[in-house]
Structure 1
Amino acid sequence: MVLNMFEPIMSDWDDFASSVSRKLQICDSYHSPYSVHPYIVFQLQFHWNPHIPDQTSGLNQQGKKYNSITEYNSITAAKPIPPKSNGDFGTTWRIESSLLFKYSAPLIVTYLLQHSYNLVMVYVAGRLGTEELAAASLASMTANITGLCVFEGMATSLDTLASQAYGGGRKKLVGLHVQRMWAMMSLAVIPIGAVWLSSPWILKHLLPDPQLANLAGTFLRYYLIGAPGFAMFEAGKRFMQAQGNFTASLVVVLICAPLNILWNWIYVFQLGLGFKGAALAIATSNLLQPLVLILYINVFARHTLECWPGFDKKKCFQNWGQMAQLSFPGILMVLSEWLAFDILTFTASYISTSALAAQSVLMSVTITMYHIPMPAAIAASTRFGNLIGCGAVATARQTWRIYYAIFVGIGIFDVIALTSLRHVIARSFTDDKDIQYVIITTIPVVAAAQMFDSLACLVNGLLRGLGKQKVGGWVNLGVYYAWAIPLSLLLTFGPLKLGLLGLWVGPLSGLGIVTVIITLYLKWSNWQKAVDEAIARKG
Structure 2
Amino acid sequence: MAELESPLLGGNHGQRRIVSDLEGDLHEEGLRWGMMVRGFLGEFRSESKRLWHIAGPAIFTAICQFSLGALTQTFVGQIGELELAAFSVENSVIAGLAFGVMLGMGSALETLCGQAFGAGQIRLLGIYMQRSWIILVTTACIMMPIYVWSPPILVFFGETAEISRAAGKFALWMIPQLFAYALNFPIQKFLQAQRKVMVMALISAAVLIIHAFFSWLLILKLGWGLVGAAIMLNTSWWLIIGAQLLYIFITKSDGAWNGFSWLAFADLWGFVKLSLGSAVMLCLEFWYLMVLIVITGRLPNPLVPVDAISVCMNIDGWDAMIALGFNAAISVRVSNELGAGNARLAKFSVVVVSVTSMAIGVVAMVLVLVTRDYFPHLFTSSSAVAAETTDLAILLGVTVLLNSLQPVLSGVAVGAGWQWLVAYINIACYYLVGLPAGILLGFTAHLGVTGIWSGMIGGICLQTVMLIIITCITNWSREAEQAGSRVKQWGGSLHEDDQSP
TM range (shorter): 0.7 to 0.9
Write out per-residue CA displacement over residues 385-421 of structure 1, whole angstroms, 9 at most, x where no aligned residue.
Answer: 1001101112211222222222221222223222333
Q: Which consecutive unaligned segments of at least 5 residues does structure 2 have?
A: 1-38, 492-501
Question: Does the alignment pair 1:189 with 2:140?
Answer: yes
Task: Select 1:336's aligned residue among 267, 284, 287.
Answer: 284
Question: Does the alignment pair 1:520 with 2:469?
Answer: yes
Match of 1:444, SS? helix
CA shift at 1:376, angstroms? 1.4
1:319 is aligned to 267
Moved more, 187-196 or 380-389: 187-196
Q: For the residues of structure 2 that align with 1:262 and 1:423, how far apart are their CA atoms?
A: 28
CA shift at 1:265, angstroms? 6.2
Question: Does the alignment pair 1:293 with 2:244?
Answer: yes
2:431 is aligned to 481
The answer to whether the 8 Å contact 2:333/2:349 transfers is: no
Aligned length: 449
CA shift at 1:428, angstroms? 5.7
1:406 is aligned to 356
1:458 partner letter? V
Q: For the residues of structure 1 that align with 2:260 and 2:278, how far apart are their CA atoms?
A: 26
Q: For the residues of structure 2 that align with 1:390 and 1:347, how far apart are their CA atoms?
A: 46
Question: Does the alignment pair 1:502 with 2:454?
Answer: no
Write out per-residue CA displacement over residues 318-374 of structure 1, whole angstroms, 9 at most, x where no aligned residue.
Answer: 122443232212222222222221222233341666644543332222222212112
Structure 1 440/229 Cα, relative in aligned 2: closer, same or farther at 3 Å? closer
Q: For the residues of structure 2 that align with 1:292 and 1:99, how far apart are their CA atoms?
A: 26
CA shift at 1:180, angstroms? 0.6
Question: Does the alignment pair 1:103 with 2:54?
Answer: yes
TM-score (norm. length: structure 2) = 0.80
Q: Which structure is richer in relative contact order (CA contacts within 8 A, separation 6 or more)?
A: 2
2:12 is aligned to none
Q: For the residues of structure 2 that align with 1:143 and 1:432, how far apart are their CA atoms?
A: 25
1:237 is aligned to 188
Match of 1:171, SS? coil
CA shift at 1:510, angstroms? 1.7
Q: For the residues of structure 1 that align with 2:221 and 2:388, how far apart are their CA atoms?
A: 41
The answer to whether the 8 Å contact 1:207/1:213 transfers is: no
The two structures, once aligned, show a CA RMSD in angstroms of 3.2
1:329 partner letter? G
2:18 is aligned to none
Query: Greater Rg, structure 1 or structure 2?
Result: 2
The answer to whether the 8 Å contact 1:128/1:275 transfers is: no
Matches within 5 A, 1:23-172: 92-126=43-77, 130-172=81-123
Q: For the residues of structure 1 that align with 2:458 and 2:357, how far apart are their CA atoms?
A: 18
1:531 is aligned to 480
Identity fraction in percent: 24
1:348 is aligned to 296
Greater fraction helix: 2
The answer to whether the 8 Å contact 2:200/2:244 transfers is: yes
Write out per-residue CA displacement over residues 71-127 of structure 1, whole angstroms, 9 at most, x where no aligned residue.
Answer: xx9xxxxxxxxxxxxxxxx98101111122222222222122212221343345446
Match of 1:530, SS? helix
1:223 is aligned to 174
Q: For the residues of structure 1 that align with 2:191 and 2:374, how far apart are their CA atoms?
A: 39
1:291 partner letter? G
CA shift at 1:203, angstroms? 5.0
Q: For the residues of structure 1 that align with 2:300 and 2:475, how far apart are their CA atoms?
A: 46
TM-score (norm. length: structure 1) = 0.75
1:182 partner letter? W
Match of 1:244, SS? coil
Moved more, 356-365 or 330-339: 356-365
Structure 1 444/264 Cα, relative in aligned 2: closer, same or farther at 3 Å? closer
Matches within 5 A, 1:200-279: 202=153, 212-261=163-212, 264=215, 275-279=226-230
The answer to whether the 8 Å contact 1:228/1:287 transfers is: no
Q: Which consecutive unaligned segments of at least 5 residues does structure 1 have?
A: 1-72, 74-89
1:117 partner letter? L
The answer to whether the 8 Å contact 1:226/1:285 transfers is: no
Structure 1 126/94 Cα, relative in aligned 2: closer, same or farther at 3 Å? closer
Write out per-residue CA displacement over residues 501-532 of structure 1, whole angstroms, 9 at most, x where no aligned residue.
Answer: 33332233222211111122122233334333
Q: For the residues of structure 1 that align with 2:166 and 2:447, how far apart are their CA atoms?
A: 35
The answer to whether the 8 Å contact 1:229/1:289 transfers is: no
Question: Does the alignment pair 1:366 with 2:312?
Answer: no
